[in-house]
Amino acid sequence: MGRGHRKTAGSEMAGDFEVQFIDRGERTARFVVRGVTPAFANGLRRAIVADVPTLSIDSVRIIENSSVMFDEQIALRLGLVPLTTPPDEFEEGDSVTLALDVEGPDTAYSGDLVSNHELVEPADKNIPIIELKYPETADSPQRLELEADAVMGRGREHAKNQGGIAVGYRHLQTVDVVGDQDAFNDGSEESTVLRGVIEESAAEHAVSAGNGTPENGQLVPTETFDNDLAQRYPDKEVDVRDVPESFVFHVESDGSMSIDELVLTATDTLLDRADELEQAVSL
């Protein structure tokens, strides 16, 4: 579990906010952000999806295409292939050239794309672009040869530039034990199903799911108790409430950059926007 601090805009009203990771994978992560308003949380989500520039193929020069697909269809498929985007290397609008040359009978994969920049390559190598045949009736195999320009663009222009996939957040919640459950409750009264992450605040009533003793303040993903509060707090009557100004973000990257880079670049774009607004209104 990592902790990090990041200072928001150099203005007086914004303070530090705290980031605490729950899951941290190469392409997906879940973390809690504290001390932000719902508006800021949504602003961050939108920035991750639409405002982080990534490289993706934008124009294609077809040299030979005798496959079963039209040039435009192949260009679209190439555009959707995520390309690794090195940090601070490119400005918006910069481009990189890639080339592809495959002859049937074979399948052209995203991994067959060769770029002229050592840090830019397809993030996923195994995406089939088009299956090329050598039909018995034909005198030459199907062939695909092309050159493509990848351009730095933003998700708000085209979905192929979205670095973040299915980015979302929900409130961090906490559970209060308000009493014992009615002895005659057959479980039909109220659902105890909860999804997300809870901050433990009733550790003395909690049953551990085999990951250490429950402690107050601990962050517990609900899937550790099968999303069922009746398993975590057996025979107790519970009350769920939101922790104010705390959000659990779920971020998934398409591989064009790491989660850290994606989220940090998104916060930077928010800062830039705030600065721009400040400049625009101060005469």
Q: Which is nearer to other proteins, 128 or 244 (CB)?
A: 128
Q: Which is nearer to other proteins, 162 or 174 (CB)?
A: 162
Which of 13, 33, 10 is CA-nearest to residue 21? 33
Q: Is 121 in the site for other proteins (CB under 8 A)?
A: no
* Cα gap 91→82, rounded to integer Å: 17
User: Does residue 77 touch other proteins according to CB under 8 A?
Assistant: yes
Rounded to the nearest 10°, the torsion over CA 25, 29, 31, 33 is 130
* Helices and strands in the chain, H and E counts: 4, 13
Tell me the window of 11-19, 132-140, 198-206, 239-247 that interacts with other proteins (CB under 8 A): 132-140
Q: Among the candidate windows 112-120, 123-131, 186-194, 197-205, which touches other proteins by CB under 8 A?
A: 123-131
Q: Between residues 75 and 263, which has the closer beta carbon with respect to other proteins?
A: 75
Report in angstroms how near the CB of residue 251 gets to other proteins at its nearest.
Answer: 13
Query: Whole-number minimum distance, CB 4 to other proteins, in Å?
Result: 26
Stretch in the footprint of other proteins (CB under 8 A) among 78-86, 179-187, 210-218, 266-274: 78-86
- In angstroms, the CA 255 to CA 12 distance is 36
d(CA 90, CA 95): 8
Binding residue for other proteins, selected from 248, 254, 262, 266, defined by CB under 8 A: 254
Q: How far apart are CA 22 and CA 42, in angstroms?
A: 20
The DSSP code for 228 is B
Q: Is 159 in the site for other proteins (CB under 8 A)?
A: yes
Q: Which helix (H) or strand (E) holds 105?
A: none
Position 53, amino acid: P
Q: Can you tell me which of 138, 207, 240, 277 binds other proteins, judged by CB under 8 A?
A: 138
**Which residue is associated with the tokens 């729950």?**
22
> End-to-end distance of the chain based on CA atoms, in angstroms?
45
Q: Report if residue 81 touches other proteins, rule: CB under 8 A.
A: yes
- Residue 53 makes contact with other proteins by CB under 8 A: no
- Which residues bind to other proteins, rule: CB under 8 A? 66, 68-69, 77, 80-82, 110, 123-124, 126-131, 133, 135, 137-138, 142, 159, 162, 165-166, 252, 254-255
